[in-house]
Structure 1
C-alpha cells in the first residue's frame, strides 16, 4: 500500500473526530445529489479509520444512506496536523483517542494537510 490508497468503504466503519455543522451537511448533500457523483474522498488514518478530513461528507453519506464512500487512506506520520482555532493545539494521539472514544472536537478544530490526490468522480449509483 502507498501512503494514500483510495478505497470504497462503508461510512459506518469510519470514526469521526469532530462534530459537524448541519447546514453545511445539507449543502454537501445538495451538491452530491445535483451532480449525481462523489468528487472528493474522505481522508482517514489507515490503522484506526479516524476521519482526518471530510466530517461533513461523512455525515452526508450517512444521511443519504450510502453503502460505501470513497476514502483516501493515510499513514498518519505523513500528514501535517494543525488547528483552525488559535486556542487549540491537537496532537495525533489526542485525535486518535477522540476517534476511539467518540469524544468529538468542536467543528473545524483540526487542520490536516495532505499530499494532493487525483481528482475523482464516482457515480452516486455506485455508492448505494
Structure 2
C-alpha cells in the first residue's frame, strides 16, 4: 500500500469513528487541562458506587486531545483502569464550540489542541465544550470492561492510527 493509499485508508477510518462511543486505552488520550484533586476523588467515589461510567470522555478524533472528561480519565487511572469510554468528535467542525469557564482566559480550539499536544496543560476548568444539536450520549460502560483485555471497542483502528501518526 502506498503512502497515499495508507493515508486515505486512515482518513476513512477516522470518518467512521466520528460521533461514535468507543472504549480505548487511556494512554492514547492527551489532556489539555490540569485536574482538581477533590473533584477526582469525588468522581472516583461515583464510579465505584455506580459500577459504571455514565458519560464518555469527549475526545478529538484527529489528535486524541481530551475536550471534556479530564477528571473522569484521572479517576480511572488512579483506580487502576487502563481503558476509558470516549465519544469521538471532529474538533475542526462547527458542531462543537469552545467557551471559557474563566474570565481571565480567552480559549480557542487552537489553544486547546496546542496544550494537549505540547503537554503544557491549562489550569483546571479553563474550557467548556458544547456540542451543537448533538447530545452527548450516556455510555453506562461497566467498570469491569475497562480493565479487561477482552473488550477493545474500536481499539484496533486506533492502534493503526497511532502507528501511522508516529511513523510520519
TM-score tier after normalising by the smaller chain length: over 0.9
Larger RCO (alpha carbons 8 Å, 6+ apart) = 1
Say which structure is richer in strand: 1
- Does residue 92 (structure 1) correspond to residue 109 (structure 2)? The answer is yes
Distance 1:64 1:12 in 2: 14
Matching residue of 2:22:
7
What is the DSSP-based 3-state SS (H/G/I as helix, E as strand, rest coil) of the residue aligned with 1:95? Answer: helix
Q: Shift of residue 21 of structure 1?
A: 0.2
- Does residue 75 (structure 1) correspond to residue 90 (structure 2)? The answer is yes
Matching residue of 2:136:
117
Moved over 6 A (4+): none
Distance 2:125 2:136 in 1: 21
TM-score by length of 1: 0.95
Distance 1:80 1:126 in 2: 31
Gaps of 5+ in 2: 1-15, 148-168
What is the DSSP-based 3-state SS (H/G/I as helix, E as strand, rest coil) of the residue aligned with 1:9? Answer: strand
TM-score by length of 2: 0.73
Q: How many residue pairs align between the two structures? A: 128
Say which structure is richer in helix: 2
Distance 2:85 2:23 in 1: 5
**Max radius of gyration: which structure?**
2
Q: Shift of residue 2 of structure 1?
A: 6.1
